[in-house]
Structure 1
């Protein structure tokens, strides 16, 4: 398990840690795929479930997309739909996405993180 030690988040919810099949966000453990924003966590059906990601339009500018243990790219149609909704997707591994989310969140930016489990 990896534990992350974020600095200051001005009331937003940081990703505290992750491990095989789970993420810890704001001190609570969540199993499976999740979407994290400054407001909290919602379960996510994964890449085949684009609607919760598209629902972030207007509330996030950047969406870190954690594709699991390794770097992978989401399907082009998902990337295109997000971009058309005004969301810039940034695909990477889930550990990298979690760290990038925390750093960007601490800067006060409008950011979200969609994470597939390791």
Structure 2
């Protein structure tokens, strides 16, 4: 399991670690794909669940989209829908997305990450 470096999050929920099939967020293990916001964690249906990501419109400035173990591009239709809703999505592998989320969260920015497990 990879463990993230602790920092100050002012009450927001950070990603603490990850491993095969799971993420640890705020000290709790979550299996499967998840969406993490400063307020908490919720299950996510993966790339086919655009509605959950579109619901973030207006509440986040950036969405780090963790595509699993490898960097991959999300489906074009998803990217277009997010852009139309004003959600800036940055696809990367899930470990990078978790780290980027934590750094941006520590800066006090409005951020979320959607993570597909390794």
- Whether TM exceeds 0.5 here: the answer is yes
Structure 1 residues 13-92: aligned runs within 5 Å: 13-92=13-92
Q: Quick one: distance in 2 between partners of 1:87 and 1:52?
A: 12
Partner of 1:102: 102
Q: Quick one: distance in 2 between partners of 1:79 and 1:105?
A: 22
Q: Quick one: distance in 2 between partners of 1:63 and 1:19?
A: 21
Q: Quick one: distance in 2 between partners of 1:112 and 1:6?
A: 18
Q: CA deviation at 1:6?
A: 2.5
SS at the partner of 1:98?
helix
SS at the partner of 1:47?
helix
5+ long unaligned stretches in structure 1: none
**Deviations for 1:35-82, whole angstroms, at most 9, x for unmatched residues?**
000000000000011111000011111000000000001011101111
Q: Quick one: distance in 2 between partners of 1:6 and 1:104?
A: 13
Partner of 1:8: 8
SS at the partner of 1:69?
coil
Check the 8 A contact 1:6/1:102 in 2, yes or no.
Answer: no
5+ long unaligned stretches in structure 2: none
Q: CA deviation at 1:89?
A: 0.3
Query: TM-score when scaled to structure 1?
Result: 0.98
Query: TM-score when scaled to structure 2?
Result: 0.98
